Amino acid sequence: MSVLTEERRAVVSKQATPTPRKRKSGTGGARRQLTAWLFLLPTLVVFGLFAWWPIVRSLLISFQQTNLVDPAVWVGLDNFRALFDDPLLGTAVGNTLFFVGLGLLIGFPAPLILAAVMSTVRRGAGVYRFLVYLPVVIPPVVAILLWKWFYDPGAGLFNNALGKIGLGPYSWLESSDSAMLSLVLEATWAGMGGAVLIYLAAMVSVPGELYEAAEVDGAGIWRRIWHVMLPQLRPVIGLLLLVQLINTVQVFTEPYVFTGGGPENATLTVLLLIFRYAFQDGAYGQAAALSFLMVLALAALSAVYLRATRSWSKS
């Protein structure tokens, strides 16, 4: 009797146990992948036509002599030889590196410091954020023309303000000693609003317990910033540093509108030299060659930087 009961229990439990479902064939996954590629295809086509194809086309033009109307003539490396024989190339590279150095010295810590100060503000925080982001909304040419009036040696705002304390007047844009610094100050004012908001958003994500623990240990405000806030912001700082490096290397609008590369080529940058080659000299091959070299330099810089700061993202 007990044996029959155990057998019945085994049969019932076997029937009650759900049988595993068979997996569907791979056709469903293949359909989903095909659908995803179909949705992605328009983006790839647009990106290829307006991003990758111009790069390939510029590479081809760098080995040609052309006016973009008549049939091109293949000249090999002649454009690169003419480029390296031009004494303005060294001037443009040196000025660009000088702009990058000043931009990192002035324009990189300024948004971080301003964001740290604004993070302590409790009343009117929205107004301050609006004001700090307002220069980003202003069209670049309008902002530069406004600052060009600020820099005016006669009736400019800066010289008038400094004149009241017995300083000046200064030729901000007409002197080769101060022209590049003047460009960096305007570029920093115009572009740091976005970085400030990014830093503020990152500071909000820092756990408050870390600040409280540091305060209990007797750390002052500067030690809390150095030992708590900055380590937590390292990935954001690294990303914004790379973005600023790329943007400053490609500076064009400020020297073009402010000074046109003067005085005495003191603000001539690589991108402005490319513009001169293409639209003033008609040397499209040299312009394309210099553009291609600039792309290689930026790619190498990005690769080296990302490799050097890989540990930041992991931590």
As a whole number, mean pLDDT of residues 45-61 equals 89
Q: Name the nearest CA neighbour of 225 among 114, 312, 116, 315.
A: 116
Contacts of 110 (CB under 8 A, 6+ apart): 188, 192
Q: Is 261 left (phi over 0), alpha (psi -120 to 50) or beta?
A: left
What is the tens place of the pLDDT at every residue in 143-165?
Answer: 999 999 999 888 788 888 888 88
Find tokens 């973005």 and name the residue.
243
Type and span of the H or E element at 285: helix 284-308
Please tell me the predicted confidence (pLDDT) of residue 1. 46
- Which domains are assigned to the chain? 93-282 (1.10.3720.10)
What is the tens place of the pLDDT at every residue in 9-29?
Answer: 554 455 555 555 555 555 767
Quickly list H helices, 17-150. 27-47, 53-61, 78-85, 87-102, 109-118, 125-137, 140-150
Q: Residue 67 above 50 pLDDT?
A: yes
pTM exceeding 0.85: no
Type and span of the H or E element at 73: strand 73-74
Q: Residue 306 above 90 pLDDT?
A: no
What is the tens place of the pLDDT at every residue in 190-203?
Answer: 989 999 999 988 88
As a whole number, mean pLDDT of residues 237-257 equals 90
Please tell me the predicted confidence (pLDDT) of residue 242. 86
Find tokens 């690169």 and name the residue.
80
Find tokens 């390939």 and name the residue.
56
Distance of alpha carbon 114 from alpha carbon 132, whole angstroms: 9
Distances (CA, A) of 263 to 142, 255, 256: 22, 10, 12
Residue 65 β-bridge partners: 73
Burial of 110 (0-12, 13-18, 19+ CB in 10 A): middle
Please tell me the predicted confidence (pLDDT) of residue 8. 53
The better pLDDT of the pair 309, 3 is held by 309
Contact 248, 105 (CB under 8 A): no
Distances (CA, A) of 207 to 215, 218, 229, 233, 239: 13, 18, 10, 12, 21
| pLDDT level of residue 2 (50, 70, 90 thresholds) | very low
The better pLDDT of the pair 269, 229 is held by 269
The better pLDDT of the pair 36, 79 is held by 79
Contact 192, 111 (CB under 8 A): yes
DSSP result, 211-270: HHHHHHTT--HHHHIIIIIHHHTHHHHHHHHHHHHHHHHT--HHHHHHTTT-STTTT--H
Please tell me the predicted confidence (pLDDT) of residue 21. 56
